[in-house]
Every structure is written in structure tokens, then in C-alpha cells.
Amino acid sequence: MSTPDRPPRPDSIAGVLANLRRLPRRVRRESREVVEAAVTQLFEIVVRHPGGATASREYRIDDLARLGGTTARNVRVYRDRDLLPPPRRVGRIALYNDTHLTRLRLITSMLDRGYTIAHVKEMIGAWEQGKDLGDILGLESAIAGTWTTERPETVARSEAERRVGDAPAMQRLVELGVIRLNGADDSLATITRPKLIDAFNEVRGYGIGIDKLVDLYEQTLPHIDAISQMLVRAGAEHVLARLQPGAPLPADTEIAELIGMLVRFRTQAVASVTATLAGSIESTIESMVSGLLAESLLH
């Protein structure tokens, strides 16, 4: 007597895809929100489980280093400095698993952002003691183990208005999609970019008006979107070659691998753009201050 196949777990790649396939074709075609929600779930599953929400795989050191975006020599250094737990040994062969890979990617991301090995060790130690890594780093990006960099916040409309502190700016932020009004009578507001609002309020402390800050956001947004499209296009051809529109989806493990590649691509793209932008802003500030001092000294 054969055992009936167990349904896939809803928090697995197979579970998300199975739920999506069960929907009527008309719903899948007409409801973009359903597909977008499923895509978000897929990315979050892959971020939480680099192996694609399957059983933990094992890697030799060269494979682990390649997947972690570093070198075997660096892996040995991290292991010697207790940043990575010891591998499983089979004779003279050291075998690492997905837990090591997740930790390695975390270490690599932190070092890419300019932290020293000593800082990384201290932060990981605090994380292991139960402290929130996002709070420790001041970051809530991929290295903290989430896909989306920000989680929208739904609050009373009055609370959103209080945070913005300016009625015309509130209206503009609604038009820009930074804040969405909802509820039967618009009594609720969803702040889609809470960190942006927090940044606005901090900069306002220096005397810069909220209207000027919204102007800057509106002016830079098209340029940021253009940079994003240019970067993402670089990885799109690879994905499209393996996910042909209209063709059957490949195996779940292959989908997980593709999404994992995009997650890593996102992390490195953000890191490279952030470093380039920071360098450009520093140079611009230095040039501006030099000009101001020169003007003051010459007159």
C-alpha cells in the first residue's frame, strides 16, 4: 500500500508555487497583487533558507567560499578567529553546511560595508546572545536576514500626519506613494517608506524645511529608478534564459538557486552603489567646504 504524498509546507518554495498554481488562471492573470505577494514570499524563503528550504546541504571549503563570495583562505581565517563554527569532519575532509554559508555571507556583507574582523566578531557574539542584529548594525537589509529593506507601517492617519508635521508635505508624500491612505474613511495610513520619514525628521533638525526634502526625493527618484533598472538588467538575461515565459517552471531547487543569485546580486549592487555615492558625496562636500574657506580667506 503506497503512502500518499505529503502536501508541501506552505512556507516552502514548493508550497508557495503549489498555492499559486491552484488559483484559477483568470485570477493569476488579472490579480497582479496575488503574484507579487507570492514573489515576495519566495524571496523571503530563499533568504531565510539559502538551500531553498530543503534539507541542509554540505560543501567542501572551495565550494563554500565560492557561494559565499570569498576565498578558501578567508574561510580558514574566519574559522581560526571563531567567526565560523567548526565544520563536520569526515576523515581529512572538512564539510560545511547551509548554516556556515549563511554566516559566511553575513560576515562578507559586513566586511564589504567597512567593518573590521574585530567588529564583526563582537557583533556576531552579541547576535548569538539574543540581541537583534539589525539594531546592532543600524541596518535592516539582506545581511539581517530579510528580503525587503523596509516593512510598511500602518498607523492611524493622525499619527502619520503627526510624523510628517506639515499638511502640504503630507499630501505630496501621498501623491508620491510614500504614504497610502486606506480604511473606509481614510482613517488609516500605510507609511511605505518609514525610514525615509525618519531621515526627513532628523535632517529637519538642522533647519532644512520638509518641502525642500520632499523636492529632493521627488527629483532623485527617477535617477535612482534608472540606476536600479540598469543594474537589474545585468542579471535579467541569465534568469530569462532559464525561466522562459510560457514554459513550465523548472524544479524548485533551480528556482531557489536563481532567487538566491538575485538576493546576492541585490546585496552587492546596493553595497557598490552605496560606496560610490558615499565617495561622491564626500568629495562634493570637501570641494564645497574648500570653496567656502577659500572665499572667506580671500575676501
Give the rounded distance of the alpha carbon of 239 from its chain centre: 19
Q: Check pLDDT > 80 for residue 8.
A: no
Q: Is residue 2 part of a domain?
A: no
* DSSP count for the chain of H helices, then E strands: 13, 6
Contact 39, 54 (CB under 8 A): no
199-217 per-position pLDDT tens digit? 999 999 889 999 999 999 9
* Most confident listed range (28-32, 270-274, 276-280): 276-280
42-78 per-position pLDDT tens digit? 776 666 555 444 445 788 999 888 888 889 999 999 9
9-31 per-position pLDDT tens digit? 656 667 777 776 666 665 555 55
Give the mean model confidence (pLDDT) for residues 279-299. Answer: 82
Name the phi and psi angles at 151, rounded to 5.
-105, 125
Domain termination residue (choose one: 206, 226, 246)? 226
Contact 277, 34 (CB under 8 A): no
Structural domain boundaries, residue 110 = 61-129
Q: Assess whether 216 and 154 both reside in one domain.
A: yes
Q: Is residue 298 part of a domain?
A: no
CB atoms closer than 10 angstroms to residue 185: 8
CATH classification of the domain holding 102:
1.10.1660.10
Q: Assess whether 170 and 201 both reside in one domain.
A: yes
Number of independent structural domains in the chain: 2
**Amino acid present at 160:** A
Domain termination residue (choose one: 226, 244, 277)? 226
